[in-house]
Structure 1
């Protein structure tokens, strides 16, 4: 995490202006918020900063961590940075955040269930310039595509289809359960399903163009400012310029540990090393 923080602060030490890109006007960073974010990124776990009456959630999304939110006093803001977690578990944390109602600052990595569930469920959002927002896996992949993905696009047999329909293909059941939770969550939060569908479709298209494939869950798709404005723009109160693509200067940390297959889709190098080629 220290390496990530150093990379972000180095890139943005000169970014004190409001910028216009892709028809979006970004807010200039403010020193007070950035100081709180820096403190949070250096503090692991779930903490309450008395001086600023701020909650720092710098943790994966596990029950032990997010349940601490219920016991913390009211805050002026919640800073969220998370590598993600189980989608079903994240929905429970989203409920707690709804109950608390404090404005949230998304900073540092907001990955997987953080981007798919927490971010899409918030009502008052400040996107900090340190944010790297990415969803996990080609979540909306159908069974036929999922089954043939690492099998040279072969069609599943009638028996395989029947097994899946009966719920006994446990690999696909695990894959599909995340999609079902996402759909229910987005409907419950009054967010268009295309929030996840468009990213999933884009990752699938990018992955098809690659001769070498990895497991569907090992693809990552970055969410940019235009995507956030389109689907949750009415909930965003401030948006600073954050990483928009893999080669974005502010994406220095992830360049070291990932392999890009398009401007906004990548695979972690540890997974890419185990790639499957037709």
Structure 2
């Protein structure tokens, strides 16, 4: 039975409702939710629940045909018969967003990077590389390999304290004529404990490593659904945002899935639930 987490906003309540409906396979009414909150947190927070229901309606519009739930008045229920294990990418995003998993050594953040890379590849129809993978290669070796593969010139070698400078995945739309100047996305993945404190990608720093033939596109991937108020703020810093509705759409419309990745995400979700 999923316990309602300590919440600081109605968005977290909405996250929990999404998670409850798909994992438990049950509907939940406003009155039942209020009873659970009262029993678990000794609070009668009707205003927050009403706000959460309104937020779920907004999210359902963002999910479109891929929404797993429907809001009918004050009841939220599955919109179709599904097994969550067939959609573990969505459930992983909900776990991070609703339950706020803070473990850093359980492999979850690496799985989210791989999920984000797969979504970016579907979006671009191109090539992606996850920095830090394989672990046997140093950042310098990975950057050299990346520059060679992209027909770009390698710049200054990274210093010992540079690490990845906020970039987890590099994706691009390749052209096969052996020349530079292609579309590149530098993607930051923010799933873990310190997601809210992530700093914007410094493209001027990254242009020292690889001498790009054109301007790169800074992107952010995150498991939550960005609120309307935060959307405009994020677009000031990132040109491409892959939040949960977009990750869901890209995952569900992908022509191919990494079966081993999906199995790993299922195992991770089971451990968290």
TM-score by length of 2: 0.24
Larger Rg: 2
TM-score by length of 1: 0.23
Indicate the structure with greater strand content: 1
